[in-house]
Amino acid sequence: MNMFKCSHSDSSCIHLGNVCDGIHDCPNGGDEIWCEIKTFSCCLKCTCLAFAIACSYFNDKETQSFERSLIVSVSIQESIFPLENYFFTLFPKGEFFSLKENGFLQLCHIIIFLVTTIGLDLRKNEVKTITKQCFKSLLVLKYLLLDLNLITSLNYQSFFNLTNLVFLSLDKKPITKLSSQILAATDGIKLLSFQGIQSVSHIDKEALNVLNPIVIHTSDWRLCCNVSQIVSCTATFLWYQSCSELLPDNNNKFLCILMSVSIVIMNFLSITFHVFSKTIKKAFAAAVIAINITELQYALYLGIIWFSDLVLQAKVLIVDEVWRSGATCFADFALVLNFTFFYQFELTFLSLSRLMIVVQPVDTVFKKTYFAFRTLSSFCLISVLFVL
């Protein structure tokens, strides 16, 4: 009854009195393993297991070391004692640290003491920025959770040289800036989570460049632009959303400029000719000039698109919602809509006037200048009201 079965042995048993007596009685010395647990006392407000410790509160009164603790979950107050000089030295072999809701404002001064850490949970703290190469000392880190912090900026090489990192979670943060190469030399990462990110105002083209296949889990489609083909992104694109600029290539840019300049030149020549011509009836000239003015609206539309593309360039991906809800986009839409409807009215009036001149060459009202101006003005007013 009072016997201890040696591990990894089918027949070896020793008396319980010989366990933890300082003498190796089992063939593999299993009777002397973790004997310090007999005299170990867990600190106040903590729960201690064989390889783990969970504390609802930790203070600077504790002096014993927890060398056997591989999993550490603790609630501490950073202001109580200098963390870098005390707390983490108590867990020299800690591999999994859960430090949620501890009010941390910065991380880099903590990270340097977690060189053995494989998993690090820093959710629900108050960190506002990740500085350059902040995590570079965590060479064995595989899992990093930074959800629900106050991070607004991921700076250049924020997660530099995390060669073993597999999973990085940055969910539900007010991130506004993603700088270049935030994952530099972090080639082993498989999953990057950006759920709940809606306020990004700057994304560098090389922010998420990686060398190996990776999955980006996000609902923000803009984070899926400017990534290589080996990157899989879970965001859903709506029909009006695109990763391209307003004018996606140089051919479109050149064609836009060429068309707008050509339209302006040809229509100004036409207006000049019809204004100063003494042989053309004023009613007919009014109809043609109205068409010329409408076509100039289309040239203005192309010019606004070209200029906006020149100003925004790749930033249109980030300011997509601002662009679509701004005055410039609204004005462009109004121009092309007005052009579409008013142009049809004018062509119909011009065709009808020609027909009536043939049918009734003497008495038709379409030859009257006042009638042409009044009708075209009415068409213009109707078109503007329709657009508004």
CATH number where 228 lies: 3.80.10.10
Cα Rg, the chain, nearest whole Å = 37
Average pLDDT of the residues in 58-78: 62
Give the helix ranges, DSSP H, for 137-194.
none
Domain identity same for 100 and 234:
yes
Domain identity same for 233 and 276:
no
Amino acid residing at 292: N
Please indicate, yes or no, if residue 74 is contained in any of the structural domains: no
* Residue that terminates a domain, selected from 193, 211, 243: 243
Query: In angstroms, rounded to a whole number, what is the distance separating the alpha carbons of residues 130 and 157?
Result: 9
**209-232: per-residue pLDDT in tens?**
887 888 999 888 888 887 777 888
Please indicate, yes or no, if residue 383 is contained in any of the structural domains: yes
Cα dist from 11 to 4, 22, 24, whole Å: 11, 22, 16
Please indicate, yes or no, if residue 158 is contained in any of the structural domains: yes
Domain identity same for 232 and 270:
no
pLDDT of residue 198: 67
**14-62: per-residue pLDDT in tens?**
887 788 788 888 887 777 776 765 566 677 777 777 667 777 766 655 5
Please indicate, yes or no, if residue 302 is contained in any of the structural domains: yes
pLDDT of residue 265: 93
pLDDT of residue 50: 62
Q: 3-class DSSP state for residue 220? A: coil
Give which of 258, 263, 236 is closest to 247, Cα–Cα: 258
Query: In angstroms, rounded to a whole number, what is the distance separating the alpha carbons of residues 203 and 176?
Result: 8
For residues 281, 285, 288 and 290, what is the CA-based torsion angle, rounded to 10 degrees? -140
Domain identity same for 208 and 334:
no
Q: Which helix or strand (DSSP H or E) is residue 339 part of?
A: helix 327-359
Q: What rounded mean pLDDT belongs to the chain?
A: 80
Please indicate, yes or no, if residue 254 is contained in any of the structural domains: yes
Domain identity same for 238 and 274:
no
Domain identity same for 235 and 100:
yes
Domain identity same for 254 and 378:
yes
* Residue that terminates a domain, selected from 206, 228, 243: 243
Please indicate, yes or no, if residue 147 is contained in any of the structural domains: yes
Check residues 260 and 1 and name the one with the higher pLDDT: 260
Average pLDDT of the residues in 118-129: 90
Residue 61 dihedral angles phi and psi, to the nearest 5°? -85, -20
Please indicate, yes or no, if residue 82 is contained in any of the structural domains: no
Check residues 8 and 14 and name the one with the higher pLDDT: 14
Q: What is the pTM for the complete model shown?
A: 0.66
Domain identity same for 273 and 204:
no
Q: 3-class DSSP state for residue 55? A: strand
Domain identity same for 300 and 347:
yes
Cα angle 378, 382, 388 (rounded to 5 degrees) comes to 145
Cα dist from 186 to 132, 153, 159, 370, whole Å: 14, 19, 7, 75
How many domains are contained in the chain?
A: 2
Domain identity same for 255 and 369:
yes
Expressed as residue numbers, the domain containing 273 is 250-387
Domain identity same for 296 and 162:
no
Domain identity same for 101 and 147:
yes
**326-374: per-residue pLDDT in tens?**
788 888 888 888 777 777 777 787 788 778 777 777 677 777 777 777 8
